[in-house]
Amino acid sequence: MQGVDWMARYGGEEFIIVLPEMDLKGASILAERLRNVVSENVIDVGETQLRITASFGVTCLDAAKITNEASAEFMIKEADACLYVAKKQGRNRVKTIMDIN
């Protein structure tokens, strides 16, 4: 479905958000907003308060540079590489493909 945003659980704690009509800058802004919302919430568990953080890896398909490598699998690997950098640099952050290239 072209032009339809969707989100799915990809693994244990990993999710994929596909935004077919959004560029890298817009996706980065959205990821930062989501990161902030998650980290601002406090979850009360009895007498304990929990804070959860999220890290995001963001990539984008550049229509001008489509190659044989421009597959869903390739893009997931790129986003995963960005996520790894975000976690390595301290978690609770957004990293884009431009940050790691």
Q: Give the chain's domain count.
A: 1
| Rounded-to-integer distance, Cα 41 and Cα 72, Å | 32
List of the chain residues with pLDDT < 70: 1-2, 63-70
pLDDT of residue 95: 97
- Here the CATH number for the domain that contains residue 17 is 3.30.70.270
Identify the domain containing residue 53 by its residue range. Answer: 6-100
Give the phi and the psi of residue 56 in degrees, each rounded to 5: -130, 135
Position 1 in a domain: no
pLDDT of residue 63: 65
Global pTM value: 0.86
